Structure 1
Amino acid sequence: MMRVSTSGPGRRAELKAACAAGVTVVLWASAFVSIRSAGTAYSPGALALGRLLAGALTLGVICLLRREGLPPRAARRGILLSGLLWFGFYMVALNWGEQQVDAGTAALVVNVGPILIALLGARLLGDSLPPRLLAGMAVSFAGAVTVGLSMSGEGGSSVLGVVLCLLAAVAYAAGVVAQKPALGAASPLQVTTYGCLVGAVACLPFTGQLVGEVADAPASATLNMVYLGVFPTALAFTTWAYALARTTAGRMGATTYAVPALVVLMSWLALGEVPGPLTLVGGALCLAGVAVSRSRSGAAAGGRGKAGEPRPDRARDPA
């Protein structure tokens, strides 16, 4: 059987997807600082709407410049579902939930999302659940909860807040699984742009709140809201879609467990919040779990078909 060079097109495609996933987790981690600033001046719905409008405008301009048309009919159902669940409902529920619970509870509940992605992906998309993925996710989940608990203040938790965080995790998982098939028919830019637009339309009932709060909000909070729309939404969701099109939903979900570790580092650098020993241990666990979940056994790494054909469980690189 022909041996495939590790420096061939398949390897380059994997590296590009890994880089795209890396951009996503870095920008999503950076959103932590911006949300803390914007969230003091904007209510959950208004913040979600402002973020989505900024993201949709940015993506719309890029689509016009690239002459991207409407997504194919086969992709529209997935785009609609992911737009409603992930871009719309998830952002509002998460913004609201995190105002009701302490950081430790939020970490425990919201980080159930990647686990649900793996389970739903296996059930609905036929994704595999290799032992390394499950073990890595267990380690990362423990690390995410450790980080959250170590960074919690004295705030309490309400039943409403826990329910909102749980609903956000479920919406996140369902949105990712709905988005995956759409990427087989449409480009990552199309899927992200129209998903963001659907989310913005779903949040239009918060227009009155947004208009009223913009007038009173400090410029720093408004700039942070715009930043959330341009970078952690427009750019990061596009790089996420690019990477998701080239791997399984479960592995992409597991990758997001790197976010808590990066949040610790960014909070240290940007906010002067020096992490304690328990926080550092939790961050290290998050990164270790991601490394395990994204690794493959020797047999799997070399398990390609004839003439360098990709393995069946790998998404093909659309031209």
Structure 2
Amino acid sequence: MMNDSPSRPARRTEVLAAGAAGVTVVLWASAFVSIRSAGAAYSPGALALGRLLAGALALGAICLLRREGVPPRAAWRGILISGLLWFGFYMVALNWGEQQVDAGTAALVVNVGPILIALLGARLLGDPVPPRLLAGMAVSFAGAVTVGLSMSGEGGASVLGVALCLLAAVAYAAGVVAQKPALGAASPLQVTTYGCLVGAVACLPFAGQLVREAADAPVPATLNMVYLGVFPTALAFTTWAYALARTTASRMGATTYAVPALVVLMSWLALGEVPGPLTLAGGVLCLAGVAVSRSRSRPGAAARAAAVPASRQEAGQPRAGRTSGPA
């Protein structure tokens, strides 16, 4: 009985982190539908700035209510890098890329991101890359390729569009890896709020376009832009940061492979776009890969693996590198 009690808080934290990651994935999937709608009336830079301003206002109000202070100095490097790359550059590049290529090609190229996260996380943060995670990422990536190929038959993929989506994936991966250490010094709400502000400042050169296009844009397009700022940005990035602070960047990156499958389901329910058998098969592969990547090995195997570094430490040998930030 005494051996079970210490595991209860850890188990509760794991469940909450998984729930937060699930909220993020669902909201990010919904963003694809909203970007497609709002992108007809707003240019890529204006849409990114409007989304970030709406998100910054929502996050700022929450910070004031919760009396969150300014993040400590140790967190600012990660906040600045993630704000510039992920909140700023990524959103502009993705908005622009989706105007150049079809949705299937964009989803395929952007889903290089989780692989880059795993590689950068292992190199820069010392994240472990267990076999289950690698196997799950391989299955999910195969599913993302299947979804992309099944959805890319109706439009041609331009070289510019593919390059923009690839740049977005690189910025996304670098932003996630930079954000992880910042979460060891500041709260998820602080990191998300100030990262969003940094991204908004970086997109201020598009302010003139935003003002001009907002005057002529239809109301549904503007509402979609506000929705993107409040939910897929303010809420989803905060739940992402909460979950990222409690697991590795590699595992969180693998979780986002569920996004293409959810986009297919949302398009089916909201837009009446019935997916074909190949698309459904790819979606199932995406979800199966996420399940494998987030699964845990048997307790006996985990205990044996944990005993190795412990015995090394007793013998005076150093432990392997740990992931930055809280466990």
Query: What corresponds to 2:10 in structure 1?
Result: 10
1:113-132 residue CA offsets vs partner (Å, 9 max, x unmatched): 00000000000000011111
- Whether the aligned pair in 2 keeps the contact of 1:246 and 1:314 (CA below 8 Å) is no
- Whether the aligned pair in 1 keeps the contact of 2:184 and 2:324 (CA below 8 Å) is no
1:246-267 residue CA offsets vs partner (Å, 9 max, x unmatched): 0000000000001111111111
Query: What corresponds to 2:219 in structure 1?
Result: 219
- Whether the aligned pair in 1 keeps the contact of 2:185 and 2:325 (CA below 8 Å) is no
Q: Measure the CA separation in 2 of the matches of 1:86 and 1:37.
A: 22
- Whether the aligned pair in 2 keeps the contact of 1:248 and 1:315 (CA below 8 Å) is no
Query: What corresponds to 1:95 in structure 2?
Result: 95
Cα RMSD for the two superposed structures: 1.9
TM superposition shift of 1:100: 1.1
Q: Measure the CA separation in 2 of the matches of 1:159 and 1:223.
A: 31
Query: What corresponds to 1:37 in structure 2?
Result: 37
TM superposition shift of 1:145: 1.6
Query: What corresponds to 2:162 in structure 1?
Result: 162
TM superposition shift of 1:146: 1.1
Are 2:141 and 1:134 equivalent residues in the alignment? no
AA matched with 2:184:
G
Q: Measure the CA separation in 1 of the matches of 2:306 and 2:26.
A: 31
TM superposition shift of 1:314: 9.4
Query: What corresponds to 1:237 in structure 2?
Result: 237
Q: Measure the CA separation in 2 of the matches of 1:106 and 1:298.
A: 37
User: Any residues of structure 2 matched to 1:1-319 within 5 Å, and which?
Assistant: 3-5=3-5, 8-299=8-299, 316=326
Size of the aligned set, in residue pairs, is 312
1:186-225 residue CA offsets vs partner (Å, 9 max, x unmatched): 0000000000000000000000111010011110000000
Gaps of 5+ in 1: 307-311
Q: Measure the CA separation in 1 of the matches of 2:325 and 2:51.
A: 30
- Whether the aligned pair in 1 keeps the contact of 2:56 and 2:196 (CA below 8 Å) is yes
Change in 2 beyond 3 A, CA 1:21/1:314 = farther
AA matched with 2:38:
A
TM superposition shift of 1:316: 3.5
Task: Specify the SS of the correspondent of 2:100.
Answer: coil
Task: Specify the SS of the correspondent of 1:209.
Answer: helix
Change in 2 beyond 3 A, CA 1:143/1:113 = same
Q: Measure the CA separation in 2 of the matches of 1:287 and 1:174.
A: 24
- Whether the aligned pair in 1 keeps the contact of 2:180 and 2:324 (CA below 8 Å) is no
1:3-35 residue CA offsets vs partner (Å, 9 max, x unmatched): 335861110010000000000001101111111
AA matched with 1:85:
L
State, as a whole percentage, how many aligned pairs show the same letter.
87
AA matched with 2:218:
P
Q: Measure the CA separation in 1 of the matches of 2:70 and 2:323.
A: 28
- Whether the aligned pair in 2 keeps the contact of 1:103 and 1:153 (CA below 8 Å) is no
Q: Measure the CA separation in 1 of the matches of 2:121 and 2:196.
A: 22
- Whether the aligned pair in 2 keeps the contact of 1:38 and 1:221 (CA below 8 Å) is yes
Q: Measure the CA separation in 1 of the matches of 2:250 and 2:61.
A: 31
Normalised TM-score (structure 1): 0.94
3-12 or 235-244, which deviates more? 3-12
Gaps of 5+ in 2: 311-321
Q: Which has the larger radius of gyration?
A: 2
- Whether the aligned pair in 2 keeps the contact of 1:37 and 1:224 (CA below 8 Å) is yes
Task: Specify the SS of the correspondent of 1:98.
Answer: helix
